[in-house]
Structure 1
Amino acid sequence: MATGRFTLDPGIRALLHDLGVSTDRVPELEQGPVMLTVDEYYRFWDAIDREAGDPDFPVRIGRALSVESFNPPFFAALCSADLRRAAERIAAFKPLIGPIVLDVTGPDLTLSLRWPDGPAPSSLLVAAELAFWIALARIGTRRIVHATRVTMRSAHNSPALTEYFGTPVVAGPADSISFSAGDAAHPFLTEDESRWRLFEPELRRRLAALEASDTTADRVRAALHLNLPAGDSSIGGVATRLFVSPRSLQRRLQTEGTNYQAVLTTTREQLARRYLADRSLSTAQIAYLLAYDDTNSFYRAFRSWTGATPDELRPAGSRTRK
């Protein structure tokens, strides 16, 4: 998002206290929410890592998470019907937490983190972000939910982490966690649509204020990240998500020197290149995630962008089934 800052919620005080981590040497912590630059936020987590001195600290964070540890967007997610819907809501409101993009893809539920450009976050921060999803699933369903796959660009693994996730952390092109379709659709016992309706207007107001300096093209791209895996590439679907009419949306894009089709095409190409680096995704699945009617349509589009087929540009060693 335009701000490029993370919001450090005061609820983290209680979490760190429960984990026995002193905050005396973490000056950013105050009584209210604190806005940190990316560098400050990463240094904050580095300080916690040094203070904890525990390679299994992400597991301890996951097990200690409770409703009171969550800030409003995460608490609102617990009102969702299931983990997939909760992930979609968090993806939409993640900018209120910080400049991280959460990609929600299927057909099984895969949640991938895209961090700000620049230095990479610490393995502790990445592992803690991924452990959060296990905690959320377990709190919502009151079941022991495990991941089917966990990848980190800088693999961080231990017996305790493997036990917590239910699968070893493996090196991969993205920081991601996957769940089975059954676990993704298992009902949340915390579902409360009436409470969600109380949360939603304020969250949307805050998001609108945050997005005020974003371009319309930026907002369209963010909406497409949510709509494409659901099979919707239409301007109408994006306009609905952005609360404008298709005509108004196209007019705003034209004032920025672009149009909906151009933004859709570049977004699909960027996502296609990212998905091709994931060995677990077949070409047919990638076509599905990009909302193409069939694999041949995806092949034709990809060749028009790159002059090559998806298989030809797949990174060495990552070829998979079609």
Structure 2
Amino acid sequence: MLANNTSTQAIQPMPVPTSYSRVLARELDLQEKDLHTLLKGTGLQSDVLTECSEVSATTEQQMRILENALLLTQAPELGLRLGRRLLPATHGPLGYLILSCPDVLTSLQAFAQYLPTRLPFSTVTITQNDTQVECRLTLNIQASNSIQRLLQECFALMIQSIGEASLAQELVDARIELQHAKPDYHHLYHDYFHSPVEFSQTHNRVIIPLTTTQIANTSGNTDSYRVALELCQQLIDRLPSRDILTSHQVKRLLLSHPIGSVGAEQIAQELFITKRTLQRRLNREGTSYREIVETILADLASNYLGNPRLSIESIAFLLGYNDSAAFRKAFRRWYGISANEYRSTL
């Protein structure tokens, strides 16, 4: 029996962010004109997917969207495909939380606490004993077997991605237990999971050796990432509540990911348009993708320099520069003085 050392977040009566449906639409390779097919029967309009502000759907609407996706793709393995896309960064601030946690166990505990605020039909419990850590999923909804299976697959892949984000390597020593029966496409599991999977189990859970969960987060700079999360959220809050301009949508998306982790191609995909269309729309607004990125970097750099806890090297790292020399050169281009001179004026 596992010791009674748990981290559990009760279900909250809150809606589901449509950011997950945007991830799903990208997996289906839908374009702007096709988005309505994914939302059929929900009462939602396509702009809930094209606007990058935090719009929400009810649990019932989210389940209908998943059903629509299965009908559109006729791909029973969609849960595997979607789950592989649900990296920490897709959970909004959770991406920063994972980076700021000191080890794998703390990352998993943060996930357990945070996930129900994003997916309120789920509860994740983390339990540990002297040898292992158990991550258990409970789904608090009535859904078809195909949807239950899809969600179970997504859960297991999310746990795997969180562990691997901290370890910076594949999670190979876990054991994955899923309640659904072995599907016809079970041979595909080897392409997605790096640990053994068992079917028709009593619970949906991922069991990881305790020693693995105690390995330090390889990303380091944990305090710096907490500062980065707070500042990026402040900048997001300054944006209009409705992103009418494409430039505002791009800014929101860039600030919602760890800086430097996405490029123009991915931003265009998140807007369900081509990179060329993105460039054309930004040109009409008198700006460019590069100009937006430079503005964000300059704004973040200025704010970071006001924090005495952050060294120039840490700031360069947070802004995605490989070395502080490149950052110093960019800062002088933005402000006409060195970063140290700028800091001395604050």
TM-score, length-normalised on structure 2?
0.50
Q: Is the 8 A contact 1:59 1:164 kept in 2?
A: yes
Q: Is the 8 A contact 2:166 2:219 kept in 1?
A: yes
Q: Give me the whole-angstrom Cα distance separating, in 1, the residues matched to 2:181 and 2:15.
A: 24
Q: What is the aligned partner in structure 2 of residue 146 from structure 1?
A: 172
How far residue 177 of structure 1 moved from its aligned partner, in angstroms, is 1.4
Quick one: which amino acid aligns to residue 194 of structure 1? S
How far residue 25 of structure 1 moved from its aligned partner, in angstroms, is 1.3
Deviations 1:154-173 (A, max 9, x none): 23541221453221232122
Q: What is the aligned partner in structure 2 of residue 8 from structure 1?
A: 17
Q: Which aligned runs of 4 or more in structure 1 are off by greater than 4 angstroms?
A: 65-68, 197-203
Q: What is the aligned partner in structure 2 of residue 112 from structure 1?
A: 136
Bigger relative contact order, structure 1 or 2, given CA contacts below 8 A and separation 6+?
A: 2
Q: Is the 8 A contact 2:126 2:133 kept in 1?
A: yes
C-alpha change, 1:141 and 1:97, in structure 2 (3 Å) is same
Matched positions, count: 203
Q: Give me the whole-angstrom Cα distance separating, in 2, the residues matched to 1:132 and 1:169.
A: 17
* Greater Rg over alpha carbons, structure: 2
How far residue 176 of structure 1 moved from its aligned partner, in angstroms, is 1.3
Q: Give me the whole-angstrom Cα distance separating, in 2, the residues matched to 1:70 and 1:97.
A: 8
Q: What is the aligned partner in structure 1 of residue 203 from structure 2?
A: 174
Q: Give me the whole-angstrom Cα distance separating, in 1, the residues matched to 2:205 and 2:211.
A: 18
C-alpha change, 1:23 and 1:186, in structure 2 (3 Å) is farther
CA RMSD of aligned residues (A): 3.1
Deviations 1:198-235 (A, max 9, x none): 648999xxxxxxxxxxxxxxxxxxxxxxxxxxxxxxxx
C-alpha change, 1:19 and 1:26, in structure 2 (3 Å) is closer
How far residue 19 of structure 1 moved from its aligned partner, in angstroms, is 5.4
C-alpha change, 1:45 and 1:169, in structure 2 (3 Å) is farther
C-alpha change, 1:188 and 1:59, in structure 2 (3 Å) is farther
Deviations 1:92-128 (A, max 9, x none): 2223213222100123121111222544652112211
C-alpha change, 1:51 and 1:179, in structure 2 (3 Å) is farther
Quick one: which of 62, 77, 85 aligns to 1:56?
77
Q: What is the aligned partner in structure 1 of residue 149 from structure 2?
A: 123
Q: Unaligned stretches of 5+ in structure 1?
A: 204-322
SS of corresponding position for 2:135: strand
Deviations 1:256-285 (A, max 9, x none): xxxxxxxxxxxxxxxxxxxxxxxxxxxxxx
Q: Give me the whole-angstrom Cα distance separating, in 2, the residues matched to 1:67 and 1:97.
A: 12
Q: Give me the whole-angstrom Cα distance separating, in 1, the residues matched to 2:169 and 2:108.
A: 17
Deviations 1:3-27 (A, max 9, x none): 5334224365256425535644122
Q: Unaligned stretches of 5+ in structure 2?
A: 1-9, 234-346
Q: Give me the whole-angstrom Cα distance separating, in 1, the residues matched to 2:231 and 2:114.
A: 12
Q: Is the 8 A contact 1:12 1:69 kept in 2?
A: no
Quick one: which amino acid aligns to residue 151 of structure 1? E
1:272-283 alignment to 2 at 5 Å?
none
Q: Give me the whole-angstrom Cα distance separating, in 2, the residues matched to 1:19 and 1:119.
A: 21
C-alpha change, 1:111 and 1:11, in structure 2 (3 Å) is same
C-alpha change, 1:132 and 1:33, in structure 2 (3 Å) is same
C-alpha change, 1:177 and 1:155, in structure 2 (3 Å) is farther
Q: Give me the whole-angstrom Cα distance separating, in 2, the residues matched to 1:33 and 1:155.
A: 36
Q: Give me the whole-angstrom Cα distance separating, in 2, the residues matched to 1:147 and 1:34.
A: 38
C-alpha change, 1:10 and 1:123, in structure 2 (3 Å) is same
Q: What is the aligned partner in structure 1 of residue 125 from structure 2?
A: 103
Q: Is the 8 A contact 1:42 1:122 kept in 2?
A: no
Q: What is the aligned partner in structure 2 of residue 196 from structure 1?
A: 226
SS of corresponding position for 1:177: strand
Q: What is the aligned partner in structure 1 of residue 281 from structure 2?
A: none
How far residue 133 of structure 1 moved from its aligned partner, in angstroms, is 1.4
How far residue 79 of structure 1 moved from its aligned partner, in angstroms, is 2.1
Matched, 1:72 2:93: yes
Q: What is the aligned partner in structure 1 of residue 57 from structure 2?
A: 36
1:156-235 alignment to 2 at 5 Å?
156-157=182-183, 158-165=186-193, 166-191=195-220, 192-196=222-226, 199=229
Q: Is the 8 A contact 2:133 2:213 kept in 1?
A: yes
Q: Is the 8 A contact 2:136 2:206 kept in 1?
A: yes
Q: Is the 8 A contact 1:58 1:131 kept in 2?
A: no
Deviations 1:170-205 (A, max 9, x none): 2122221122223322332234233225648999xx
Quick one: which amino acid aligns to residue 26 of structure 2? H
Q: Is the 8 A contact 1:110 1:176 kept in 2?
A: yes
Q: Is the 8 A contact 1:6 1:36 kept in 2?
A: yes
Q: Is the 8 A contact 2:12 2:116 kept in 1?
A: no
Percent identity reads 13
Q: Is the 8 A contact 2:101 2:107 kept in 1?
A: yes
Q: What is the aligned partner in structure 2 of residue 26 from structure 1?
A: 38
C-alpha change, 1:135 and 1:15, in structure 2 (3 Å) is farther
